């Protein structure tokens, strides 16, 4: 047996700047020695691998300062060699809070990636306060109690054990407790110890077995001869420096070295002008006990109240040793909140004193500087935002940072290890490609911007970032849920490893109940269970990880945004081509793949004689190719024509589908430019032309952004504008992924300059949907939808953001009845789920299908190949929303009718005259009519612009809301062209009908579970009156019965409190039982 490594001690408070400087020399000397020995150990490890291949004996590793090996017991030589050369076999622990740790379950089948943590219980049930069906939490609590008993004094021969953060049953995470690990003789060996396994024998030199103790408390550490010495606390993670108890002093100004400070260095940052009131604002403290941890005054004077709350949120999670998600909506300043937080933990002053602080200290000292002398950070963001982060860091402070690139990472790593940098800034791609060199550097915190890019758990970038050796990881994203609830898990797991459960546990606890219960025809049990689980998620689980605010916080600083969805009927050529495409051999192969095979075997066609098409293509290949073709035809039939820059492969595919659609070769087309401009090839073309023409002739100085996922289509629009006699006379630019950064910013500057006549900016949705400020625009056209609603929202937010002074009109152009309409319906479905999780709203159940369903019945009208390849020129979004409206109206009608039916049964006077029945019927009709008017008023704007306009006017006149029949010129254009429109936001609302269904359904589920599993949630209105009446009766009976008991309990309690005897204690115990 080897000697146990003495525990390092981690303090609960950070050191102040003065103490850092005072202790720097001693720390630097110790750090330099550790670095030297660590390098030698790495060399010997590599040498041992070669020696092992040659069959030679491995060399012993040199010991790190302050470490000791176990001397008790005997171990085999080959065990020592194995453990000393392979660190991955060592014990792994999960830090939780300021002092609690959980041992990871040793289950190789669960460890699917480097850095994963799997807790010995399901944390989702603990965080929610619900009972764990597998009762793992009780087992874990028993093991925890046994460990506490052991720490209380019993001896053990095992390795040092640590406290586990297995929480007691409660509805919220426990505050971390403080304890230390001790060793002794253990006389018991029970199977209950499986949660507290002993650390395997081997080389402990590479472990940092830290134990948390309160600030300033001395701890006893065993010497090799059994004596004890006292050491002061040592910082874990952020500052591994020995220090004395901190005192509050002013930061000491260091003498600047030659060449370190420029003459024109501003005295503080940011350098924005500020008012007299702002000048009086001081620093914003983040820690009541450590006043030097505060957002510096020069930054704090510009922060809004909610941004201070965000910085506080980041710090509180950081102090507890855990990460979190800052999920604020785009435009609320997530970057500034992060910089405020980093400034605080790095003890920045916001003045020129911070300039090259690390470099000055290194030059003043003859020893190396520990990189974590001050906290360090890694910031990972998309490549397009690296420059933005760099500018913001320079604007808001004096940070010493370096950009980690694929061609300079070695130099950056070297300078970072020498202590020259506060922050490393890099992109997702660079981090993924150089992760082996990045993951082991000493970091205090990792911050990942646009963290929704980690939504796929198995993606290389996700796995790379999760392998970084840092326990405090923060994620920044305004769109945590983009497509599916499953995507949340990967980001939650990144920020607090293990506490979102495994992916399987996440799906079983959250995803499956919620998505099954949000179906239009769901049963009462399914719908009520889903709503209850959503409540648990939004009120108990997500707040543990997540802080989310939306633009309602700055609504007073933003103008109005009108988000119109325009359903454009296809042109004649598009209809002809789309029908031929749906009837093609390939798509019929997909649609009939599960039909019985014609051979009579009873097997599905796909598994029998038709596993592939006549050209030898498999299902996935056929699906993707035909889906792309349908999107092209729905958008603009000209996308199937040849283009000069098409690759041979693209040209061959387009020729294939062109022949299917129109039964001719595209090479026979004489003029591509003429065909591209032909409105007969695109139903959206005429609408776009008319809108651009009218906006151009307005006196409002309109500027237009046109987004498309197709660069080819943007080029066609460019040709159209250039050759149009009606739209000529103005300049425009086209921003795509092919544009370099310099040219990109020039395009933005030209468009933003009101003095220049740049009327239109054409933008690729993916290339220009992030990181651009285009507030000069007041019209936005989304020419084709994206599967991901966040991409379209990001695109329109280029114009609708802080700084915009005019109303922004957004027009989403949708090919009616095609796959584009399905894409838009999917967007509604996804945004509903996001609103439910972010805001806890009772969204209407519009659709029957849910993602991940295997049968056509469960796939409903949203999912499955059969829904992708369908065509209805009349469209289907409006009919689906109308179906929901009818269901909600019917539910309200059922409630009213049930009330009157029940009231008739309660009427004891059987001799009611005809006049009384007439009055009751009139009152019932009046109630139904009022309910109809209320529903129409709540849905104002949810109707088609053409077919519902008059009805809205009537309803609003009756309710006194005034007429909305005054139409703008844009509405006139839409009506002249005969297109249907909807207000996008009206697809989402906190439905009062859903709330009523929940209130009735909860009672039914409690009283009659079998009925709840059979009856549809939409039919609960028929039971409404009887359920409510029965509930009132039961509550009244319970209240009546409870009164004597309350009085007796009160009397006995007073008696017990007045008596100081065992009898009093017995009475209290009886009452508590």
Note the pLDDT tens digit of each residue in 1003-1049. 899 989 999 999 998 888 878 665 555 444 444 444 444 444 445 44
The yes-or-no verdict on residue 503 having pLDDT over 70 is yes
Cis preceding linkage at 270, omega within 30: yes
Q: Are 369 and 362 in contact (CB under 8 A)?
A: yes
Which carries the bigger pLDDT value, residue 1054 or residue 465?
Answer: 465
Q: What is the DSSP string of 173-184?
A: PPPPP-------
Angle 223-229-234 (CA atoms, 0-180°, nearest 5)? 100
User: What's the CA gap between 1 and 732, in Å, rounded?
Assistant: 77
Is 701 a member of any domain? no
Q: Are 345 and 444 in contact (CB under 8 A)?
A: yes
User: What's the CA gap between 981 and 943, in Å, rounded?
Assistant: 8
Task: Name the least confident of 160-164, 382-386, 692-696, 1044-1048.
Answer: 160-164
pLDDT tens digits for range 604-651: 999 998 899 988 899 999 999 999 999 999 999 989 887 777 888 888
pLDDT at 245: 32
Q: What pairing do the DSSP bridges indicate for beta strands 473-476 and 377-381?
A: unpaired
Percent of the chain past pLDDT 70, that is, above it, reads 67
Mean pLDDT of 759-766: 91
Out of 441, 465, 496, a domain closes at: 496
Is 238 a member of any domain? no
Place of tokens 């009709």: 925
Q: Residue 275, Cβ neighbours under 10 Å: how many?
A: 9
Mean pLDDT of 664-690: 76
Q: Are 44 and 62 in contact (CB under 8 A)?
A: yes
Place of tokens 């006995």: 1052
Which carries the bigger pLDDT value, residue 347 or residue 1040?
Answer: 347
pLDDT tens digits for range 605-616: 999 988 999 888
Is 492 a member of any domain? yes
pLDDT tens digits for range 96-144: 343 444 444 444 344 478 888 888 889 999 898 888 877 766 666 666 6
Q: Residue 105, Cβ neighbours under 10 Å: how many?
A: 18
pLDDT tens digits for range 322-346: 999 999 988 888 999 999 999 999 9
Q: Residue 7, Cβ neighbours under 10 Å: how many?
A: 23
Q: What pairing do the DSSP bridges indicate for beta strands 100-103 and 210-212?
A: unpaired
- Please state the pTM of the whole predicted model: 0.71
Q: What is the CATH number of the domain that holds 418?
A: 3.40.50.10810
pLDDT at 933: 62
pLDDT at 875: 85
pLDDT tens digits for range 264-274: 788 989 999 99
If asked whether residues 169 and 306 sit together in one domain, one would say no
pLDDT band at 9 (very low <50, low <70, confident <90, very high): very low
Q: Are 864 and 539 in contact (CB under 8 A)?
A: no
pLDDT at 903: 56
Is 1005 a member of any domain? no
Residues 820-839, buried b or exposed e (16+ Cβ, 10 A)?
A: bbbbbbbbbbbbbbbbbbbe
Is 220 a member of any domain? yes
Which run of H or of E encompasses 567?
Answer: strand 561-568
Which carries the bigger pLDDT value, residue 501 or residue 232?
Answer: 501
Which run of H or of E encompasses 95?
Answer: strand 93-96
The yes-or-no verdict on residue 376 having pLDDT over 90 is yes
Mean pLDDT of 727-734: 81
The yes-or-no verdict on residue 799 having pLDDT over 50 is yes
The yes-or-no verdict on residue 411 having pLDDT over 90 is yes
If asked whether residues 191 and 67 sit together in one domain, one would say yes
Place of tokens 């606890």: 509
If asked whether residues 358 and 447 sit together in one domain, one would say yes
If asked whether residues 436 and 299 sit together in one domain, one would say yes
Is 683 a member of any domain? no
Task: Name the least confident of 659-663, 744-748, 839-843, 911-915.
Answer: 911-915
CB-based contacts of 7: which residues, under 8 Å, 6+ apart? 160, 180, 181, 209, 210, 211, 219, 221
Q: For residue 475, what are the β-bridge partners?
A: 325, 448
pLDDT at 912: 56
User: What's the CA gap between 843 and 999, in Å, rounded?
Assistant: 15
Q: Which two tokens stand for residue 656?
A: 């294939």
Which carries the bigger pLDDT value, residue 692 or residue 39?
Answer: 692
* Inter-helix orientation angle 572-582/619-635, to 10°: 170
Is 981 a member of any domain? no
The yes-or-no verdict on residue 165 having pLDDT over 60 is no
pLDDT at 192: 39
pLDDT at 632: 94
Its domain, for residue 1067, covers 1026-1072
Q: Which two tokens stand for residue 661?
A: 């659609």
How many domains is the chain built from?
Answer: 3
User: What's the CA gap between 468 and 432, in Å, rounded?
Assistant: 11
Out of 184, 215, 231, a domain closes at: 231
CA dist list (Å): 240 to 4, 316, 416, 872: 20, 20, 16, 67
Calculate the average pLDDT of the chain.
75
User: What's the CA gap between 764 and 713, in Å, rounded?
Assistant: 10
If asked whether residues 208 and 325 sit together in one domain, one would say no
pLDDT tens digits for range 423-480: 999 999 999 999 999 999 999 999 999 999 999 998 999 999 999 999 999 999 988 8
Out of 448, 480, 496, a domain closes at: 496
Which carries the bigger pLDDT value, residue 1014 or residue 664?
Answer: 1014
User: What's the CA gap between 578 and 869, in Å, rounded?
Assistant: 10
Q: Would you give the DSSP letter of residue 97?
A: T
Q: Which two tokens stand for residue 178?
A: 């403080």
Q: Residue 280, Cβ neighbours under 10 Å: how many?
A: 10
pLDDT at 886: 76
Is 881 a member of any domain? no
pLDDT tens digits for range 977-992: 677 888 888 888 888 8
If asked whether residues 215 and 297 sit together in one domain, one would say no
Q: Which of 573, 609, 783, 823 is nearest to 689 (CA)?
A: 783
pLDDT at 158: 33
If asked whether residues 318 and 454 sit together in one domain, one would say yes
Can you tell me whether residue 234 is helix, strand or coil?
strand
pLDDT at 664: 77
If asked whether residues 343 and 442 sit together in one domain, one would say yes
If asked whether residues 445 and 307 sit together in one domain, one would say yes
Mean pLDDT of 281-286: 94
If asked whether residues 83 and 220 sit together in one domain, one would say yes
Mean pLDDT of 657-664: 87
Percent of the chain past pLDDT 90, that is, above it, reads 33
Mean pLDDT of 778-804: 91
């Amino acid at each position: 047996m080897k000697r146990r490594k003495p525990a390092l001690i981690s303090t609960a408070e950070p050191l102040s700047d003065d103490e850092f400087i005072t202790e720097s020399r001693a720390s630097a000397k110790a750090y330099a020695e550790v670095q030297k020995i660590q390098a030698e150990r790495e060399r010997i490890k590599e040498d041992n691998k070669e020696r092992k291949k040659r069959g030679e004996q491995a060399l012993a590793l040199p010991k790190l300062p302050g470490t000791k090996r176990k001397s008790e017991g005997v171990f085999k030589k080959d065990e020592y060699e194995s453990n000393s050369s392979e660190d991955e076999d060592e014990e792994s622990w999960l830090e939780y809070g300021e002092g609690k740790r959980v041992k990871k379950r040793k289950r190789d089948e669960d460890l699917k990636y480097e850095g994963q943590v799997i807790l010995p219980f399901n944390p989702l049930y603990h965080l929610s306060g619900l009972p764990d069906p597998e009762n793992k939490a009780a087992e874990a609590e028993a093991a925890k109690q046994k460990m506490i008993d052991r720490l209380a004094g019993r001896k053990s021969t095992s390795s040092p054990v640590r406290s586990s953060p297995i929480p007691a049953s409660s509805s919220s995470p426990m505050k971390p407790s403080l304890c230390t690990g001790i060793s002794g003789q253990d006389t018991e060996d029970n199977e209950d110890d499986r949660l507290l396994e002993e650390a395997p024998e081997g080389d402990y030199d590479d472990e940092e077995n830290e134990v948390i103790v309160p600030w300033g408390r001395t701890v006893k550490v065993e010497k090799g001869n059994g004596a004890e010495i006292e050491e002061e606390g040592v910082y874990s993670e952020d500052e591994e420096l020995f220090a004395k108890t901190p005192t509050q002093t002013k930061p000491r100004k260091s003498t600047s070295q030659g060449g370190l400070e420029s003459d024109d260095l501003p005295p503080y940052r940011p350098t924005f002008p500020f008012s007299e009131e702002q000048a009086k604002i001081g620093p914003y403290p983040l820690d009541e006990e450590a006043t030097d941890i505060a957002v510096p005054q020069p930054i704090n004077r510009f922060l809004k109240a909610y941004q201070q709350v965000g910085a506080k949120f980041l710090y509180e999670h950081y102090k507890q040793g855990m990460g979190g998600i800052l999920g604020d909506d785009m435009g609320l300043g997530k970057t500034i909140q992060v910089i405020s937080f980093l400034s605080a933990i790095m003890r920045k002053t916001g003045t020129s004193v911070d300039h090259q602080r690390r470099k000055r200290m290194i030059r003043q000292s003859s020893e190396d500087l520990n990189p974590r002398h001050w906290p360090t950070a890694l910031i990972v963001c998309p490549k397009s935002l690296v420059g933005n982060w760099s500018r913001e860091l320079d604007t808001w402070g004096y940070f010493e940072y370096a950009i980690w690139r694929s061609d300079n990472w070695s130099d950056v790593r070297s300078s970072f290890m020498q202590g020259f940098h506060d922050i490393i800034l890099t992109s997702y791609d660079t981090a993924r490609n150089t992760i082996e060199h990045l993951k082991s550097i000493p970091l205090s915190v990792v911050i990942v911007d646009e963290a929704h890019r980690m939504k796929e758990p198995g993606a290389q970038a996700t796995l790379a970032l999760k392998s970084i050796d840092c326990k405090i990881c923060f994620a920044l994203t305004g769109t945590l849920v983009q497509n599916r609830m499953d995507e949340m898990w990967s980001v939650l797991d990144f920020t607090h490893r293990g506490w979102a459960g495994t992916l399987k546990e996440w799906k079983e606890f959250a995803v499956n109940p919620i998505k099954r219960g949000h179906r239009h025809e769901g049963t009462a049990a399914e719908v009520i269970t889903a709503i209850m689980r959503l409540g648990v998620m939004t009120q108990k689980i997500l707040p543990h990880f997540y802080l989310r605010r939306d633009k309602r916080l700055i609504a007073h600083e933003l103008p109005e945004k009108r988000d119109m969805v325009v359903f454009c009927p296809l042109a004649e050529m598009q209809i002809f081509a789309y029908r031929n495409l749906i009837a093609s051999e390939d798509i019929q192969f997909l649609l009939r793949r599960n039909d019985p095979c014609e051979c009579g075997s009873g097997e599905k066609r796909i598994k029998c004689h038709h596993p592939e098409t006549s050209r030898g293509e498999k299902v996935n290949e056929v699906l993707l190719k035909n889906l792309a073709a349908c999107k092209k035809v729905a958008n603009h039939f000209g996308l199937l024509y040849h283009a000069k820059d098409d690759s041979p492969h693209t040209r061959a595919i387009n020729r294939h589908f062109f022949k299917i659609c129109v039964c001719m070769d595209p090479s026979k087309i004489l003029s591509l430019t003429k065909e591209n401009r032909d409105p007969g090839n695109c139903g959206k073309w005429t609408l776009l032309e008319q809108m651009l023409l009218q906006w151009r002739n307005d006196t409002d100085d309109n500027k237009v952004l046109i987004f498309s996922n197709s660069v080819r289509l943007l080029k066609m629009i460019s040709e159209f504008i250039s050759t149009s006699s009606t739209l000529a006379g103005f300049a425009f630019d086209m921003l795509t992924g092919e544009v370099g950064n310099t040219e990109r910013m020039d395009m933005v500057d030209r468009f933003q300059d009101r003095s220049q006549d740049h009327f239109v900016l054409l933008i690729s949705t993916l290339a220009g949907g992030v990181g651009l400020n285009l507030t000069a625009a007041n019209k936005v056209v989304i020419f084709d939808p994206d599967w991901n609603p966040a991409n379209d929202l990001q695109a329109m937010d280029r114009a609708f953001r802080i700084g915009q002074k005019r109303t922004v009109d957004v027009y989403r152009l949708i090919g009616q009845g095609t796959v584009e309409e399905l894409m838009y319906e999917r967007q509604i479905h996804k945004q509903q789920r996001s609103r439910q999780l972010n805001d806890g709203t009772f969204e209407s159940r519009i659709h029957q299908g849910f993602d991940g369903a295997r049968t056509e019945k469960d796939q409903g009208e949203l999912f499955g190949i059969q829904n992708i390849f369908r065509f209805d020129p009349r469209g289907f979004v409006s009919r689906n929303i109308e179906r929901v409206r009818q269901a909600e109206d019917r539910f309200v009608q059922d409630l009213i009718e049930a009330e009157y039916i029940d009231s008739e049964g309660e009427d004891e006077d059987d001799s009611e005259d005809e006049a009384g029945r007439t009055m009751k019927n009139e009152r019932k009709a009046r109630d139904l009519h009022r309910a109809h008017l209320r529903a129409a008023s709540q849905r104002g704007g949810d109707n088609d612009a053409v077919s519902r306009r008059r009805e809205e006017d009537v309803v609003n006149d009756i309710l006194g809301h005034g007429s909305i029949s005054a139409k703008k010129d844009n509405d006139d254009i839409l009506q002249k062209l005969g297109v249907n429109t909807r207000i996008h936001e009206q697809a989402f609302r906190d439905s009062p009908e859903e709330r009523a269904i929940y209130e009735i359904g909860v009672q039914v589920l409690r009283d009659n579970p079998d009925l709840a599993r059979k009856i549809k949630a939409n039919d609960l209105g028929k039971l409404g009156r009887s359920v409510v009446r029965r509930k009132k009766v039961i509550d009244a009976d319970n209240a009546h019965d409870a009164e004597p008991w309350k009085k007796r309990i009160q009397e006995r309690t007073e008696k017990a409190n007045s008596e100081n005897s065992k009898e009093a204690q017995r009475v209290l115990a009886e009452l508590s039982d």
